[in-house]
Chains A and B, each alone.
Chain A
């Protein structure tokens, strides 16, 4: 049987300072298979970003083990196969004197390796990914002059320029208008056809559930992990337990959406 691309075994993480401890994750067990499109849902402060940081090796688990392709995350070094868009991508670039092309090309840094400079082949990849995200006309613009939505698309392009086998997206569509959100999910579906494993954190339950194969619901504990149809059949009690307030998924003729 094929190894899961990510396997989290009994992961716990607590934020600590001198005065208090705040548990973020408790005993999380999760498997993500190659080529899966998994949506990670949960309210604010439920540990979604912490879980992603653990899976990307940015922070180390205090308890448990993370395996990637069956091997410990500690020994994993092929980070060029991972594309990542962080939650704060859109905000920290303000004032940075770099063009869109420079920012997107920087996504190839790990793949190129030490002592090598970007070449014509890399610029070809740059043009392809800018085309994919429909931001070709912004390539020579200063990143600090872009709108929030445009900036997010630049960061998504940076995550995709490697042709990653794994794509981790932490609220990538925050601040993007409906037209470009639709275009973004079309890109994800194309990537899925190429067997890219996608882990997507979002608050947009309705849209995410319509596109993802699997849904994982987090709120310190992993409350649910199943297919999107299983998620759609969750009752009000289970959803309310995850989100901490009365919540139900309602469906109508052509789409599902979330309401309270």
Chain B
């Protein structure tokens, strides 16, 4: 694969996009998981699929190629705003926003797929990831999103941590409303950036599985972020390597490696190689 990396642009583009996705998806995933919003990524990825099918349909309709990644991002961000709005409408049942937006995404996907006259190979790549589909425009867009996400987390880390940990206190401090809004938009962007490699249907796995594994072995939030990113990158690199050699979609291999890592951390945790003094249940006074 190293030879191919040197030789072929598309392999290099896929590898770099994969590395960016392996960094930003688990990073934003730590905040998603601890806010117990893991399913938001699923809902938004389905809305993104709606956007991609719309892009494919529009291209067929007007006869000009429109990058479906762009329409995917537009739908994803709109879906994100819809979730945030619905969360305020159903204050006591905020999780309702997720199935509502998810079903909208699936319905739109089916609609535009039917209008665009069914499935094509390109769409298969969006669904399950593709090692050959990333072009220089995609890579540039993914890199820009990557830099934006990193800056967002660097500059708003303390606000994000407070909102994730204690929303009521963040409300009292008058900092929660705008950060919710920005956060959900960033989640939508991360989904759009990661889907080229992992695929729409598996993108939420890259956001949650490395975090779920890291949670078994860390005690501080910064450690959680760092280990999630390391596990995310291991999953992406090994998944891409397997995908290249087995000639299968990278989404499946990346997620299977993530699941393998998760299983190992659960087994290690059970065997007692885990968080400090977990066996003591609570620290003695």
Q: Are B276 and A98 in contact (CB under 8 A)?
A: no
Q: How far is the CA of A89 from the CA of B172 in the complex (A)?
A: 14
Complex partner residue of A79 from B173, B222, B285, CB under 8 angstroms: B173
Q: Are A102 and B283 in contact (CB under 8 A)?
A: no
Q: Are B172 and A118 in contact (CB under 8 A)?
A: no
With a CB–CB cut-off of 8 A, which chain A residues contact B159? Answer: 109, 114
Q: Are A77 and B283 in contact (CB under 8 A)?
A: no
Q: Are B34 and A96 in contact (CB under 8 A)?
A: yes
Q: Are A147 and B283 in contact (CB under 8 A)?
A: yes
Contact A57 to B174, CB < 8 A, known contacts A102-B221, A141-B219? yes
Q: Size range of the interface on A?
A: 35 or more
Q: Are B283 and A86 in contact (CB under 8 A)?
A: no
Of listed B170, B175, B219, B222, residue having the most chain A CB within 10 A: B219
Q: How far is the CA of A3 from the CA of B158 in the complex (A)?
A: 34
Q: How far is the CA of A220 from the CA of B6 in the complex (A)?
A: 75
With a CB–CB cut-off of 8 A, which chain B residues contact A140? Answer: 219-220
User: How does the 8 Å CB contact mask read for B254-285 relative to A, with 1 for contact and 0 for none?
Assistant: 00000000000000000000011110111101
B224 at the binding interface (Cβ < 8 Å): yes
What distance in Å separates the Cβ of A228 from its nearest Cβ neighbour in chain B?
27
What distance in Å separates the Cβ of B265 from its nearest Cβ neighbour in chain A?
13
With a CB–CB cut-off of 8 A, which chain A residues contact B218? Answer: 97
Contact A145 to B173, CB < 8 A, known contacts A93-B165, A96-B165, A97-B219? no
B106 at the binding interface (Cβ < 8 Å): no
A173 at the binding interface (Cβ < 8 Å): no
Q: Are A79 and B278 in contact (CB under 8 A)?
A: no
Q: How far is the CA of A39 from the CA of B2 in the complex (A)?
A: 70
Q: Which residue of B lies closest to A99 (CB)?
A: B220
Contact A102 to B282, CB < 8 A, known contacts A58-B172, A92-B166, A142-B275? no
List residues of A (107-149) whose CB comes within 8 Å of B's CBs: 108-110, 112, 114-115, 117-118, 138, 140-142, 145-147, 149
What distance in Å separates the Cβ of B129 from its nearest Cβ neighbour in chain A?
29
Q: Are B158 and A103 in contact (CB under 8 A)?
A: no
With a CB–CB cut-off of 8 A, which chain A residues contact B122? Answer: none
A197 at the binding interface (Cβ < 8 Å): no
With a CB–CB cut-off of 8 A, which chain A residues contact B215? Answer: 97
User: How does the 8 Å CB contact mask read for A230-260 relative to B, with 1 for contact and 0 for none?
Assistant: 0000000000000000000000000000000
Q: Are A84 and B169 in contact (CB under 8 A)?
A: yes
What distance in Å separates the Cβ of A148 from its nearest Cβ neighbour in chain B?
9
List residues of B (168-182) whose CB comes within 8 Å of A's CBs: 168-175
A174 at the binding interface (Cβ < 8 Å): no
What distance in Å separates the Cβ of A181 from its nearest Cβ neighbour in chain B?
13
User: How does the 8 Å CB contact mask read for B219-238 relative to A, with 1 for contact and 0 for none?
Assistant: 11111100000000000000
List residues of A (51-106) whose CB comes within 8 Å of B's CBs: 56-58, 77, 79-80, 82, 84, 86, 89, 92-93, 96-99, 102-103, 105-106
B16 at the binding interface (Cβ < 8 Å): no
Q: Are B283 and A58 in contact (CB under 8 A)?
A: no
Contact A98 to B221, CB < 8 A, known contacts A106-B161, A141-B283? yes
What distance in Å separates the Cβ of B176 from its nearest Cβ neighbour in chain A?
10
Contact A56 to B172, CB < 8 A, known contacts A102-B222, A146-B282? yes
Q: How far is the CA of A108 from the CA of B161 in the complex (A)?
A: 12
Complex partner residue of A117 from B157, B276, B283, B285, CB under 8 angstroms: B157
With a CB–CB cut-off of 8 A, which chain B residues contact A89? Answer: 166
With a CB–CB cut-off of 8 A, which chain B residues contact A77? Answer: 174
Q: How far is the CA of A93 from the CA of B276 in the complex (A)?
A: 18
Q: List 14 A-B contacts (CB under 8 A).
A: A58-B168, A86-B169, A97-B218, A98-B165, A99-B220, A106-B161, A106-B166, A109-B159, A110-B175, A141-B219, A145-B219, A145-B275, A146-B283, A149-B285
Other A-B pairs, 9, CB within 8 Å; known A79-B174, A84-B172, A97-B223: A57-B174, A58-B171, A93-B166, A102-B222, A106-B166, A110-B173, A117-B157, A142-B276, A147-B283
